[in-house]
């Protein structure tokens, strides 16, 4: 769920990002034989299902949808979030469901018991609405992580996605995957092919994230034609387009990184 950042939040986020990069912990070695591109959708707006998932499927590929169960069925300016009854549909259509917390908080503002209870609640939500699905990967709301929870998060998830805009290559922190946002204006979103060209030239793992997929997107979304163009461009350039979890399997990353 988008929210405008205050300058204080932006500063706190920047400092946290820097500290996390330098905190010890296992790293994964991202050296795929072929470049990998992953498309992810956060929250998740219903157009990410009706338009986004459909576009990926038309190309014969699948995406990762980081769902916050507490948002399901709610309406916000410019978008409606998928209903609980649509969560299972994404899984049935072969897409990956990831965890995005239940209540979509600023994670660093929560103490550990509150945070972990929130994560448990999202797991329970998915157990009810997408039986048999395990949420293996996590994305921080607002891409804003929290210090001091690496061990617990890595015990729960294979990866956590953060917002530092870069390609994952070589030694990579699974607790803080880098990712590139697809957002308006459309003229800008269409230039994101440069990231695909970059990963195609030197294999690594490029993760995109966005929200609604609409001809009139919110400031956090993408137009259908542009998403279609980006997926097509990745495939034309010889990239494998994989879900988060399939990408980890392709790179033989162990199920848990403790």
161 vs 233, beta carbon nearer Zn ion: 161
The answer for residues whose C-beta is within 8 angstroms of residue 120's C-beta and 6 or more apart is none
Based on the shown chain and the rule CB under 5 A, indicate whether residue 43 belongs to the binding site for Zn ion. yes
How distant, in Å, are the alpha carbons of 111, 128, 244 from that of 124? 20, 6, 21
Based on the shown chain and the rule CB under 5 A, indicate whether residue 212 belongs to the binding site for Zn ion. no
Least separation in angstroms between residue 209's CB and Zn ion is: 9
Q: Of the listed pieces 39-47, 161-169, 173-181, 245-253, which binds Zn ion according to CB under 5 A? A: 39-47
Least separation in angstroms between residue 68's CB and Zn ion is: 6
Based on the shown chain and the rule CB under 5 A, indicate whether residue 42 belongs to the binding site for Zn ion. yes
Q: Output DSSP code: residue 158.
A: S
150 vs 211, beta carbon nearer Zn ion: 211
Supply 88's token pair.
Answer: 């299972």
* Position with the least CB separation from Zn ion: 42
Half-sphere exposure (Cβ direction) of 2: Cα atoms closer than 13 Å: 19
Q: Of the listed pieces 40-48, 51-59, 121-129, 181-189, which binds Zn ion according to CB under 5 A? A: 40-48
Q: How many CB atoms lie within 10 A of CB 45?
A: 28
Alpha helices in the chain (DSSP H): 7-21, 46-47, 54-58, 84-92, 112-129, 150-156, 186-189, 193-201, 224-236, 244-250
Q: Of the listed pieces 36-44, 198-206, 228-236, 239-247, which binds Zn ion according to CB under 5 A? A: 36-44
Least separation in angstroms between residue 142's CB and Zn ion is: 7
98 vs 141, beta carbon nearer Zn ion: 141
Supply 27's token pair.
Answer: 């790293």
183 vs 233, beta carbon nearer Zn ion: 183
Identify residues 138-177 at the interface with Zn ion (CB under 5 A): 141
Q: How many CB atoms lie within 10 A of CB 17?
A: 16
193 vs 243, beta carbon nearer Zn ion: 243
Least separation in angstroms between residue 99's CB and Zn ion is: 11
Least separation in angstroms between residue 223's CB and Zn ion is: 20
Identify residues 114-143 at the interface with Zn ion (CB under 5 A): 141
Least separation in angstroms between residue 100's CB and Zn ion is: 6
Pairing, β 79-80 against β 75-76: antiparallel
Supply 177's token pair.
Answer: 């995957």
Least separation in angstroms between residue 198's CB and Zn ion is: 26
Give the number of residues in contact with Zn ion, rule: CB under 5 A.
4
Burial of 232 (0-12, 13-18, 19+ CB in 10 A): middle
Supply 10's token pair.
Answer: 């932006």
Residues at the site binding Zn ion, with contacts judged by CB under 5 A: 1, 42-43, 141
């Amino acid at each position: 769920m988008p929210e405008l950042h205050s300058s204080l939040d932006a500063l706190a986020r920047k400092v946290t990002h820097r500290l996390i990069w330098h905190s010890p912990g296992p790293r994964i070695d991202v050296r795929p034989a072929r470049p990998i591109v992953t498309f992810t959708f956060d929250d998740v707006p219903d157009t990410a299902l009706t338009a986004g998932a459909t576009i990926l499927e038309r190309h014969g590929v699948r995406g990762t949808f980081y769902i916050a169960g507490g948002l399901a069925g709610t309406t916000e300016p410019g978008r409606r979030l998928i209903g609980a009854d649509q969560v299972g549909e994404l899984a049935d259509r072969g897409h990956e469901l990831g965890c995005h917390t239940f209540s979509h908080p600023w994670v660093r503002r929560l103490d550990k018991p509150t945070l972990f209870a929130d994560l448990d609640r999202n797991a329970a939500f998915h157990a009810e609405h997408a039986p048999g699905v395990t949420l293996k990967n996590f994305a921080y709301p607002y891409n804003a992580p929290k210090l001091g929870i690496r061990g617990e998060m890595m015990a729960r998830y294979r990866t956590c996605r953060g917002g530092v805009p870069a390609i994952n290559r070589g030694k990579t922190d699974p607790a803080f995957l880098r990712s590139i946002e697809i957002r308006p204006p459309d003229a800008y979103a269409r230039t994101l092919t440069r990231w695909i060209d970059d990963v195609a030239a030197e294999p690594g793992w490029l993760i995109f994230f966005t929200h609604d997929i609409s001809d009139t997107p919110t400031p956090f979304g993408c137009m259908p034609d542009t998403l279609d163009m980006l997926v097509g461009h990745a495939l034309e350039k010889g990239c494998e387009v994989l879900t988060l979890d399939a990408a980890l399997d392709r790179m033989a990353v162990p199920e848990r990184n403790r």
